[in-house]
Amino acid sequence: MKILIAHNSYQQAGGEDTAVKSEIALLRQHGHEVIEYRRNNLEIRDQSQVKTALSTLWSSQSNKELKLLCERFRPELIHAHNTFPLISPSLYWFATYQRIPIVQTLHNFRLICPQAMLLRNGVVCEDCVGNFPWRATTRACYHDSHLQSAVVTSMLGVHRFLGTYQHRVSAYIAMNHFCRNKFIAGGLPEEKIHIKPNFVDSKRQPNWAARSDGLFVGRLSEEKGINTLIAAKKMLANAMNHQDKTVSTSIKIIGAGPLHKDVVEAFSGDYLGPQKPEAIFELLHKSSFLVAPSTCYETFGLAAAEAFSCGVPVIASRHGGLAELVTDDVNGLLFEPGNANELAQKIAWASTHPEQMANMGRAAYEEYQNKYTPKRNYTLLMDIYQNALTSMGEQYANRTLFSIRGQN
C-alpha cells in the first residue's frame, strides 16, 4: 500500500512521537510505501496568536501542502496521529474530498476533553465527556488560559456541529477497551472505534537473575504522578521496616519536565536525567520493577509495555489504561491513584519479595508476547486499514491489501 502518515509533532517528544516513529518503521519493514506529512509545534513561535487560533479551527496551509503531496504520491490511505493544533480537523475534510480513507489514532482524549487528559487540578475530571465542553473555557483548562481554552473548545464545538468526527473519519484506533468506552461516551461512533495498543520491538530474551531496585521512566510532571512518587519515597524507609530491615531499595528516575528540581532534591544521585532508548532498555533489564504512578488516565502506558518486553513487572495506578494493562498480583501490582502510602507499601513488598516479582516478570513477558509484539500489532493494523478502505466504498475495498498481507 501507499500510506500517508500525518502527525503534528510536539515541542518535547514523548511516548506519542515514539509510537508514531515505531509504526512507520513497522509499515516500511512490511514493504509499504510510507510518506510523512509533518507539522511541528515549534512553528507556533513564529506566528501570531490569531493565525494559530484560526489554523486550529481550519488549516488552509496544511490542506494546500497535503494536496501537493497527494498529487505526487497518490496514497491509498491516510493515517493521522496528532492533528492539534497546526494540521487541524480540516485534514478529515481534505481526505473526504480526495476520496481517501482516513484512520485516526486516539493517542489522548483531545476529542472529548480540551485539556486532553481528563484531568483538572491533579484530579480526574469527566465533566465534558458527552457534553459541550464550555466548562473548559470558564476554568481555563488548557494551559491555564481562558483564551487558549476557548480556541480548543471552539474547535471541538465547530467540528462536532459539522459532523466532522462522526462522518469524515473512516476508522478510529483506541488503545484499549477503557479508552474505547470513554470515546463512545464522548460521542464518537461506536462502530468506527477499533482497539489496537502500541507495540514494543523486544531486542533480547529477559534474564531474571541479578535484578534489583525500581525504575521510573516518563515526563516529570504532576499528571505522571511524580508528586505521589516523591511522597512515597519519604515513607519508604518506614514501610521497609515493616517488611525486612535487612533489605534496602532505590528507585532510579529517567526523564525531564517541570518538576525536575523536586525530583533532583528527592532522589539525588538516583535521578539519571533523560536517556536514550538503548540505555533505558538496558536499565529495564536490570530492574526488579517499574513504577507508573500516573494520576491521569493513561491511554496506554508505553513505558509499562516496554517494561513487559524486558520481563519487568509494573507497579501502577489502579485506573485508566494502566489498570487494563497491569493485572494485580499477576504481572504487577496496583495501588490507588495518588495514594503515596499505599505506593510505598507496594514498593516495599516488591523489594522484599524478589522471587514473587520474578514470577510476575515472567507473566509480564508472556503478556508482551501475546499482545504487544510488532507481529501482533501489524495484523491488527492491517485489519483496521481494510475496514477503512471498505468504508469508503467498493472501489476501495477491492484493492490488494490482503494479498500484501499474505506475502508478508
One digit per residue, the tens of pLDDT, for the chain of length 408 reads: 999 999 999 877 778 999 999 999 999 999 999 999 999 999 998 889 999 999 999 999 999 999 999 999 999 999 999 999 999 999 999 999 999 999 999 999 999 999 999 999 999 999 999 999 999 999 999 999 999 999 999 999 999 999 999 999 999 999 999 999 999 999 999 999 999 999 999 989 999 988 999 999 999 999 999 999 999 999 998 888 777 656 678 999 999 999 999 999 999 999 999 999 999 999 999 999 999 999 999 999 999 999 999 999 999 999 999 999 999 999 999 999 999 999 999 999 999 999 999 999 999 999 999 999 999 999 999 999 999 999 876 444 444 454 444 444
* 207 occurs within a structural domain: no
State the total domains in the chain.
2
CA gap 228, 26 in Å, rounded: 36
pTM of the model: 0.93
pLDDT at 403: 46
Same-domain pairing of 296 and 172? no
Same-domain pairing of 355 and 403? no
pLDDT at 12: 76
Same-domain pairing of 154 and 242? no
Q: What is the dihedral of CA 36, 40, 43, 45, to 10 degrees?
A: 180
CA gap 123, 135 in Å, rounded: 15
Same-domain pairing of 191 and 150? yes
* 208 occurs within a structural domain: no
Neighbouring residues of 82: CB distance < 8 A, sequence distance ≥ 6: 7, 8, 9, 10, 16, 107
Same-domain pairing of 377 and 367? no
CA 371 to chain centre: 16
pLDDT at 401: 53
pLDDT at 238: 86
pLDDT at 246: 63
CA gap 169, 111 in Å, rounded: 13
pLDDT at 139: 97
* 209 occurs within a structural domain: no
State the CB neighbour count (10 A cutoff) for residue 77. 25
Q: Is 367 helix (H, G, I), strand (E, B) or coil?
A: helix
Are the CB atoms for 213 and 190 separated by under 8 Å?
A: no
Query: The CATH number of the domain where 158 resides is what?
Result: 3.40.50.2000
Query: Which residues form the domain of 35?
Result: 2-199+373-407
Residue found by looking up cell 470558564 in the block: 138
Beta strands 314-317 and 332-335 are: parallel
Same-domain pairing of 257 and 389? no
Q: What separation in angstroms does the CA of 64 have from each of 57, 59, 94, 95, 100?
A: 15, 9, 10, 12, 16
Same-domain pairing of 240 and 383? no
Are the CB atoms for 78 and 101 separated by under 8 Å?
A: yes
* 206 occurs within a structural domain: no
